[in-house]
Amino acid sequence: QGELELGVVTLPTHTPESLQALAVWDDPLRFVVAEDHPLAGGHAPGLEELMAHPAVLTTRGTYTREILDRALERRGLQARPAMATNYLETLKMMVEIGLGWGVLPLTLLDKKGMRKLRFEGLRLTRTLGIVTHRRRTLSNAAVAMRDTCLEFASPPQR
């Protein structure tokens, strides 16, 4: 609709023609459980075992959820979300209090409250970037914002 100049977003897999997308950084995602979750023990669970437990995930239709759902579908699996929200801090809190396992950006995780789970051959990453309208000239403020993001970001691993 052209109302906004610039957005910093999780980039979609297909960008609409009216928008220009600039990948800025990769944001690795990790499977996590509460420290007292049954899967937080010493053994390395398989994905099938994880799917038997309830999950707290982003809502369907978000790119972060699409990344997870596609990775699971390729393996013939499907998550069982007990709850869903678009707020990552809320998801983090729900995982920490044991409402289910989740998938969160590595940058959001701290040392306390959760355990990361690793699965052989499965690496989830979302790409964050900047979107602008192709037919709109950016203001000086928007150019400065874009340039600052690019200056401090790590290059995407594409």
**Phi and psi of 81, rounded to 5°?**
-70, 130
CATH classification at residue 55: 3.40.190.290
In a domain, 102, yes or no: yes
So what's the pLDDT on residue 154?
65
In a domain, 77, yes or no: yes
Domain count, the chain: 1
How far is residue 112's CA from residue 135's CA, in Å, rounded to a whole number?
46
Q: Has residue 149 got a pLDDT over 70?
A: yes
In a domain, 1, yes or no: no
In a domain, 128, yes or no: yes
In a domain, 157, yes or no: no
So what's the pLDDT on residue 50?
95
**What's the whole-model pTM score?**
0.83
In a domain, 89, yes or no: yes
So what's the pLDDT on residue 13?
80
Average pLDDT value for residue range 54-73: 94
How far is residue 59's CA from residue 124's CA, in Å, rounded to a whole number?
17
| Angle (nearest 5°) at CA 81 between 14 and 33 | 100
Q: Name the residue range of residue 117's domain.
A: 6-152
So what's the pLDDT on residue 155?
60
| Collapsed DSSP state (helix, strand, coil) of residue 32 | strand
